[in-house]
Chain A
Amino acid sequence: MSHYFKSLDGEHRVYSSYLLCDRYRDILSVNNQEPLIARGSGLSPSDASFGFRIQSIDIRHFDRILSFDPKENTVRVEGGISIGDLSQFLLQNERHLPVLPFHPQHTLGGCVACNQIGLTTPNESFKDSIRSLKVYHPTLGIQTLQPGEQLFDLTIGGLGLTGIILEVELKTIPSTHWGWELKNKPVQDLVAGFFSILRSADPSYSWHMLWGSKAEYGRGIFTTASPTGSHGPVKEFTAFHEKDVISELDMTLFSPTSTPLIQEWKYYKEKFKKPEIVHYLKLAFYDAEKRRYWRAFGNQGVLVFEGLIKEVFHQAFFEKLHKLVQRFGPTIPRALFFKHNTEPGLLRFGGTGVVMQLHLPRNEKNRVFLNQLIECACELQMPLNLAQNSCIQEIHARKLFPDFDKIKYALSLYDKDRRFQSGLSRRLGL
């Protein structure tokens, strides 16, 4: 069956082969010679789950919980389950996953393939929660992988290039404290936001306004979350399955005129907001319940940038960013900062510092700005998240990942025919 695919950033649109699997025999009988790639919810900003003349295998119907061991704090589930669904189940058992992605609709397989990071757990990535994996490859069959094995390492954060993730055994964290208090504080500029996050012991994030004069530029709100010890307002939390992130509107509501107005309104709203208690999952799923925000980008898509600012080069980066903003005048509805501190490895995003996430409506000006920003990041050796960057190319990946050729070699040793490919992997030359 042919299907029209569009990435979240709108940059990649193709008609390609698609197979919605609902039984094991469908997956296990995939034997045509076309390259393959597994597809979850399709929420990656880039073309990580489809590509030209690549068959996308939709595994969302593989959403079963196979076992749950409260004593060992583990859960074994299929790769197509959404994180929201799994969290809902774990919540009933007073547990949660150690690392939660920004949106509950992400599938578990997608989180493993992209080694998702979370807002509330700076010291962990998805890799740290995984006990074992089952991966299917048409030539090599079903393989069970344990930590320490090379293929396990290649699969996590491996962009789905080692096979279809069928099952995952995960660590869970028992918790009875679901209520977290959010306190907002205005910050003057990016540097203030950066250091507030670095010094904060509790989970924290800040958002900034990247426009205006020198005095106004970089203003924002710093939010810190601390556990209250209470159960928290569980009742308000119902929107785990928020769908339709992608809008069909032909225009974006984020224009150079409207964006500063919207941000200014948000700034004052947040500045004078009283501390509020929210549910932990609501805090972790930062992008849930933001349907209007996502839809405001329209059909043209949202360009995404995600990179890690380290303390050693933060000053230089912020200066370069300011110059680029002055030169290109991009529209940036979101500039979000949050703490991160994990070990990088292979194609995995990591390091110690503050993650900067930018969202821009897709247009030529913003694309040029983003390309320049990626160039700057490469000059400063700033780690970039391969799965979360719209404009990243092979040349950038080679500069940023010293083991790039080794990974490519390891992949070709494991999978000689390179059955698993995606638009993203082709673009990165993997």
Chain B
Amino acid sequence: MKTLIIGAASTLGREVARSLAKRQHHLFLVGSDARDLEALARDLSVRFNAKVQYIMMDMIALDTKKLMKEVHNKFGRIDNLLCLTGFHHEDENQFMDEKELTRLTLVNFEAPVKIINRFIEDLTSSTQGNCVGLGSIFAQRGRRTSIIYGSCKHGLEYYFEALRHRFANTRCRVQFYRLGWVETQDSRDNRFFKPASVVMVAESIANGLGKDRLNSYLPGWWQFVVFFYKLLPWFIFKRLTKF
């Protein structure tokens, strides 16, 4: 299986790469930091004897044409595409300059859509293709603390739903996960919810390949929290400042 991982330098990307390398996938890693990608590629080949290639590409300066050319030249056609990019701004409640706003929309929405669009032929022609995307529990109800991030992830959710419909008559499977708090750099100290282990989340994503999983929560118990969160009446919801 040939797998392309976008956002492989992140904590989650790294763990997913490990889970897939364990399952003998051939990996092509894309990330924004060459030092991390090099270290990860070495790690995967030392630990799992995996075949790994990588390219440094920042989502802000994304060139999908170049990416596809590199992937096809070095790697060939892909079976799986995992878009694990995501970026959350610390303080979306405050005024945000346009540069930051563009960055947020690029990383969280535009880049995954552009990349999937570029590789759509690879995925449809593969006999066991998978397209994986990540959403967020933040995108389940519009709220003041993540206006842009939440909107982008909500948009991505819609895109993946449409993608699933598009791939319905092909062998390509679509998985879209709504992530809860995960032990990554962006997870903040939370008094109520303990962040989930990255390894557990990565294993779930790797195990989900080959299955149709639209809007699954990771970890699963978040669906109950979000269910009640959505039911909150407006007069209570508007008073919530943190959540």
Q: Which residues of A contact B (CB under 8 A)?
A: 1-4, 20-26, 61, 64-68, 78, 89
Cα-based distance from A65 to B33 in the complex (angstroms): 18
Instruction: Give the residue of A3, A4, A20, A67 whose beta carbon is less than 8 angstroms from that of B42.
Output: A67
Chain B residues whose CB sits within 8 angstroms of the CB of A1 once the complex forms: 188-189
Chain A residue nearest to B38 in the complex (CB): A66
The reply to whether A66 and B46 contact each other, CB–CB distance below 8 Å, is yes
The reply to whether A23 and B9 contact each other, CB–CB distance below 8 Å, is yes
Chain A residues whose CB sits within 8 angstroms of the CB of B46 once the complex forms: 65-68, 89
Cα-based distance from A7 to B113 in the complex (angstroms): 46
Chain A residues whose CB sits within 8 angstroms of the CB of B39 once the complex forms: 24, 64, 66, 78
Chain B residues whose CB sits within 8 angstroms of the CB of A22 once the complex forms: 10-11, 14, 184-185
The reply to whether A24 and B36 contact each other, CB–CB distance below 8 Å, is yes
The reply to whether A26 and B42 contact each other, CB–CB distance below 8 Å, is no
Interface centre among A1, A24, A64 (most CB of B within 10 A): A64
Chain B residue nearest to A25 in the complex (CB): B33
Chain B residues whose CB sits within 8 angstroms of the CB of A65 once the complex forms: 42-43, 46-47
Give me 15 other A-B pairs in contact (C-beta within 8 A), A23-B33, A64-B42 excluded: A22-B10, A22-B184, A23-B9, A23-B10, A23-B35, A23-B36, A24-B35, A25-B33, A64-B43, A65-B42, A65-B43, A65-B46, A66-B42, A68-B46, A78-B39
Q: At the interface, yes or no: B202 with Cβ under 8 Å from chain A?
A: no
The reply to whether B189 and A3 contact each other, CB–CB distance below 8 Å, is yes
Cα-based distance from A23 to B184 in the complex (angstroms): 11
Chain B residue nearest to A167 in the complex (CB): B39
Cα-based distance from A53 to B46 in the complex (angstroms): 39
Chain A residues whose CB sits within 8 angstroms of the CB of B35 once the complex forms: 23-25
Q: At the interface, yes or no: B116 with Cβ under 8 Å from chain A?
A: no
Cα-based distance from A23 to B11 in the complex (angstroms): 8
Query: Quick one: CB contact mask for B8-30 with A, threshold 8 Å, 1 for yes?
Result: 01110010000000000000000
User: B27 to nearest A CB, angstroms?
Assistant: 14
Q: At the interface, yes or no: B83 with Cβ under 8 Å from chain A?
A: no
Query: Quick one: CB contact mask for B40-52 with A, threshold 8 Å, 1 for yes?
Result: 1011001100000
Instruction: Give the residue of A25, A61, A67, A89 whose beta carbon is less than 8 angstroms from that of B11.
Output: A61
User: B49 to nearest A CB, angstroms?
Assistant: 11
The reply to whether A89 and B185 contact each other, CB–CB distance below 8 Å, is no
Cα-based distance from A150 to B100 in the complex (angstroms): 45
Cα-based distance from A78 to B9 in the complex (angstroms): 15
User: B194 to nearest A CB, angstroms?
Assistant: 11
Chain A residues whose CB sits within 8 angstroms of the CB of B189 once the complex forms: 1-4
Could you list some 24 contacts between A and B, CB below 8 A? A1-B188, A3-B189, A20-B184, A20-B185, A22-B184, A22-B185, A23-B10, A23-B33, A24-B33, A24-B35, A24-B39, A25-B33, A61-B11, A61-B14, A64-B43, A65-B42, A65-B47, A66-B39, A66-B43, A67-B42, A67-B46, A68-B46, A78-B39, A89-B47
Cα-based distance from A3 to B188 in the complex (angstroms): 9
Cα-based distance from A4 to B36 in the complex (angstroms): 29
User: A29 to nearest B CB, angstroms?
Assistant: 11
Chain B residues whose CB sits within 8 angstroms of the CB of A64 once the complex forms: 39-40, 42-43
Chain B residues whose CB sits within 8 angstroms of the CB of A2 once the complex forms: 189
The reply to whether A26 and B185 contact each other, CB–CB distance below 8 Å, is yes
Cα-based distance from A284 to B220 in the complex (angstroms): 37
Listed from nearest, the 7 A-B pairs whose CB atoms lie closest are: A64-B43, A24-B35, A22-B11, A64-B39, A65-B46, A22-B185, A66-B42
Chain A residues whose CB sits within 8 angstroms of the CB of B9 once the complex forms: 23
Cα-based distance from A64 to B33 in the complex (angstroms): 15
User: B94 to nearest A CB, angstroms?
Assistant: 17
Chain B residues whose CB sits within 8 angstroms of the CB of A26 once the complex forms: 185
Chain B residue nearest to A64 in the complex (CB): B43
Cα-based distance from A121 to B237 in the complex (angstroms): 60
User: B190 to nearest A CB, angstroms?
Assistant: 11
Chain A residues whose CB sits within 8 angstroms of the CB of B184 once the complex forms: 20, 22
Cα-based distance from A392 to B9 in the complex (angstroms): 41
Chain B residue nearest to A89 in the complex (CB): B47
User: B117 to nearest A CB, angstroms?
Assistant: 27
User: B24 to nearest A CB, angstroms?
Assistant: 16
User: B88 to nearest A CB, angstroms?
Assistant: 13
Interface residues of B in 42-91 (CB under 8 A from A): 42-43, 46-47
Chain B residues whose CB sits within 8 angstroms of the CB of A3 once the complex forms: 189
Chain A residue nearest to B10 in the complex (CB): A22
User: A129 to nearest B CB, angstroms?
Assistant: 18
Chain B residue nearest to A62 in the complex (CB): B39
Chain B residue nearest to A68 in the complex (CB): B46
User: A39 to nearest B CB, angstroms?
Assistant: 14
Cα-based distance from A151 to B185 in the complex (angstroms): 31
User: B183 to nearest A CB, angstroms?
Assistant: 8
Chain A residue nearest to B39 in the complex (CB): A64
User: B11 to nearest A CB, angstroms?
Assistant: 4
Cα-based distance from A61 to B11 in the complex (angstroms): 7
Cα-based distance from A89 to B185 in the complex (angstroms): 26
Chain B residues whose CB sits within 8 angstroms of the CB of A24 once the complex forms: 33, 35-36, 39
Cα-based distance from A241 to B35 in the complex (angstroms): 27
Cα-based distance from A200 to B102 in the complex (angstroms): 69
User: A362 to nearest B CB, angstroms?
Assistant: 24
Interface centre among A3, A4, A24 (most CB of B within 10 A): A24
Chain B residues whose CB sits within 8 angstroms of the CB of A20 once the complex forms: 184-185
User: B45 to nearest A CB, angstroms?
Assistant: 10
User: A7 to nearest B CB, angstroms?
Assistant: 18
Interface centre among A3, A61, A67, A89 (most CB of B within 10 A): A61
Chain A residue nearest to B31 in the complex (CB): A23
User: B6 to nearest A CB, angstroms?
Assistant: 15
Cα-based distance from A66 to B169 in the complex (angstroms): 43
User: A92 to nearest B CB, angstroms?
Assistant: 9
Cα-based distance from A89 to B11 in the complex (angstroms): 20
User: A19 to nearest B CB, angstroms?
Assistant: 8
User: B10 to nearest A CB, angstroms?
Assistant: 6
Chain B residues whose CB sits within 8 angstroms of the CB of A67 once the complex forms: 42, 46
